Structure 1
Amino acid sequence: MTGTELARESSFEQLRKFFDIIGFLFVFTHRFMMNVLKPPYEFREIAKHMYELGVKTFPIVSVTGLIIGVVLTLQSQPFMVKFGAEAFLPYMVTLSVIRELGPVLTALIFAGRVSSGIGAELGSMRVTEQIDAMEVSAIEPFRFLVVTRVIACTIMVPILTVYVDFLAIGGGFVTSHILSGTTFDLYISQVIDVVKFGDIIPGVGKTFVFGFIVGITGSFLGYNADKGTEGVGKASTTSVVYSSLLILVFDMILVQISLWIWPVG
């Protein structure tokens, strides 16, 4: 077998595995839906995971939010000046952040930090047979380990996104003030004038989907990890890859839906 044939076979095998994982992920999601509303409700575990997975992510998304606003303004301001449209800079920065950059970048960073952690943690529990021990002890591990984490992720990503949006708009103002002397009152008044209900809802709404994707993907790959330390590492790595890819795919779909329901302008 030639090298080209081996490469083709390897690519085909990877593609087949990808669709297999996506298929099993949908089955896993269906199982989650069947369990999420069943009592008892593990509110304490959900709150714990909201803190561990979400609150501890605030420092890194804080830096991200500021950088988004600063870089977007630095890149856009010269072109806006060139075409005599500098007055529209707050409009452009705000809409870009609220509708797209804030939600997607926050979700991707959250996926990088959280999805890998969930995959590694649950994978380690699977490898060390802790999950099997819970099943023997009449404890439902799926509800206790998976449902609580997915709910926590689904709640925290929208909160983080709103926080990042405010920081990005603030970073945009500071940069605009340094570059062209824009006052705070003028900048904020322009932001308030241009931001509509149809801009906020799509941007924040899709982050619930992104949070769910991060939680369910990391939980699925960790909960079904292969035996051995290699299985834990694989679960951690593939959790980030699949979460990030699914976020981008669903973002493309949700953008089209939101533009159809709430067109820009």
Structure 2
Amino acid sequence: MVDDLHIVYRIYGAGTGRGNATAALARLLLRKGSPNVHTVHAVRGVTFTAYRGEAIGIIGSNGSGKSTLLKAIAGLLPADRGKVYTEGQPSLLGVNAALMNDLTGATNVLLGGLAMGMSQQEVRERYQGIVDFSGINEHGDFVSLPMRTYSSGMAARLRFSIAAAKNHDVLMIDEALATGDRAFQKRSEERIRELRREAGTVFLVSHNNTSIRDTCDRVLWIEQGELLMDGPTEEVVRAYEDAGGK
């Protein structure tokens, strides 16, 4: 449950120039009294309740506060006002399955699985399924190469595959389905449906309205940090498109 949530970013020392390290430290220590503070009210009084088994899309224009909302639900950003209540552990794709560029894909599968709470035995049992799902080995033995050799799309697919290998109480996915070809998107959408059937709750942020329609049964439309509409997928997406959203 998200109850009257407000997220405010504060940028200290705005307009003072780069300066040196000593000046930067001084601004940090004295920031409460600094007049050079720029605030961004990224989320403004958002309230909704999500239920087990739901797949909820979050749509809106660039900079509308969608990703900020996910980070707040995951516990990565403190609320300026309001509350977030979750039952179980929220997992934000791309954070819990963080990847390290100097390590191989195989090592990242192990570390990513352990970071999400899987045992070594569970990771070993699911390892080949993760690699196959990601498709990174379709054109060579990339899983044995350092992550720095991967394209951004390959890295994103591996992140999704690691995160999706575990059942989650609450799984939040930010633009994951925008990567890869249509075949990978289809696999991702089916995995999201499986997670829902296993009584998890899924949030999906995407600019791809087709993915939202194919995956979600409910949509939140956010603009300038405010919740404009919350309802059935087709109803909300059609209203968003009629307003010029793509």
Q: Relative to total residues, which structure has the larger helix share, 1 or 2?
A: 1
Q: TM-score, normalised by structure 1?
A: 0.22
Q: Relative to total residues, which structure has the larger strand share, 1 or 2?
A: 2
Q: TM-score, normalised by structure 2?
A: 0.23
Which of structures 1 and 2 has the bigger CA Rg? 1
